[in-house]
Structure 1
């Protein structure tokens, strides 16, 4: 956490300290470095980041507005637990947004863009072989974000950006459980990404939407099993 905080300071020298602490804690929660349901030790955070306790508390109050933490009387702040309704809402949104984005991309994808997807597949394959689920999920996120960004529709990009951080938290939690308990899950996920790239490469517009939906269904099953 300290390393990230230093990077935030270097990249945003004029930004208020409380906002930088907020961004740091936000990332820690989304990336599950602060697990769902865990108590936030404000004193420890204050010492690690070398900021005042008041600053950390103010940052925690900002996270409270994001519903990433809850505050319990006389007990302090706790990281919010994962919520099944929120999960279902996100999955539903993905099934609406991502297939259409992929179809738009399929109509106009360039050779340079195809090469970027193949490079991502190579990195994902390496992560699979190493059993590095954390790295794989980062690449998985990059893969889907690349589809969205390349589709060229600003409204779709805005909609996706509004759910991507919350989506990441659920996906990382499920992946950490699923990959350890079900080796077939990560292999299935990789094959699905490979088939998506092949459909993009060959402009199979009718096929791409089905593949994306099936892939999201696979993620949904894994998340439902482990949350």
Structure 2
């Protein structure tokens, strides 16, 4: 499922690269841009990441690029292979199940806490996000739509004010994007948006049980629409003519 290197396109996520920027800042810029490209499904699983090409894009040394690759490797978004280089990770079915299990644990806890304390202003913010989602679902720009649908879960988490939890969920959501690409998710953007609307409706009613149930159902639906258990091929049956 790897892309040809000629298809690799990474655009810096923030400002244009500065040749005199500190190495740490340059490293983070590369990490942020590759992470965004994965989350928005612009980088496919298995894509080879060329040190030289990325160094040229960001106008930094290959040493800085390697530092970024090492950080992405720790986040399990990139795999480093001896003598071959860096590749966008290709999550296994087992890893996919683990990711969704962790998301379920975190998002259930977030939902329970937030639903008990959510304010009218936070409801308004969620409605504004849903409006952006609705517009994006009808748009042909898939990366923006994908980003908004994932960001819904981060908008909810940030309302608790726990940055550690938000960062953990952000990393899981990026890995979920890779998983969806690797295992061909059939869960449509329209379905995800409708489920988000139902979750916000439950928040507005302060109905904790309904909100938890709807979040759990949403994650189950997304996971069930992944091809994690492809049909086993019986070669003897296929070739026995």
TM range (shorter): 0.7 to 0.9
Matched, 1:206 2:209: yes
Give the SS at the match of 2:90.
coil
2:65 corresponds to = 56
Matched, 1:99 2:99: no
The answer to whether the Cα contact below 8 Å between 1:199 and 1:205 also exists between their aligned partners in 2 is: yes
Q: How does 1:9-24 map to 2 (within 5 A)?
A: 14=22, 16=24, 17-24=26-33
Q: What is the CA-CA distance between 1:225 and the residue it aligns to?
A: 5.9
Query: TM-score scaled to structure 1, two decimals?
Result: 0.79
Structure 1 residue ranges (4+ consecutive) displaced by more than 6 angstroms after TM superposition: none
1:86 corresponds to = 95
Task: Go from structure 1 to structure 2 and tell me whether the alpha carbon gap of 1:172 and 1:226 turns closer, same or farther (over 3 Å shift).
Answer: farther
Q: What is the CA-CA distance between 1:45 and the residue it aligns to?
A: 1.4
CA–CA separation in structure 2 for the residues paired with 1:139 and 1:147: 12
Query: TM-score scaled to structure 2, two decimals?
Result: 0.75
The answer to whether the Cα contact below 8 Å between 1:107 and 1:205 also exists between their aligned partners in 2 is: yes
> What is the number of equivalent residue pairs in this alignment?
219
CA–CA separation in structure 2 for the residues paired with 1:175 and 1:131: 18
CA–CA separation in structure 2 for the residues paired with 1:137 and 1:2: 17
In proportion to residue count, which structure has more helix? 1
The answer to whether the Cα contact below 8 Å between 1:171 and 1:223 also exists between their aligned partners in 2 is: no
What is the Cα-based RMSD across aligned positions, in Å? 3.1
Q: What is the CA-CA distance between 1:8 and the residue it aligns to?
A: 7.3
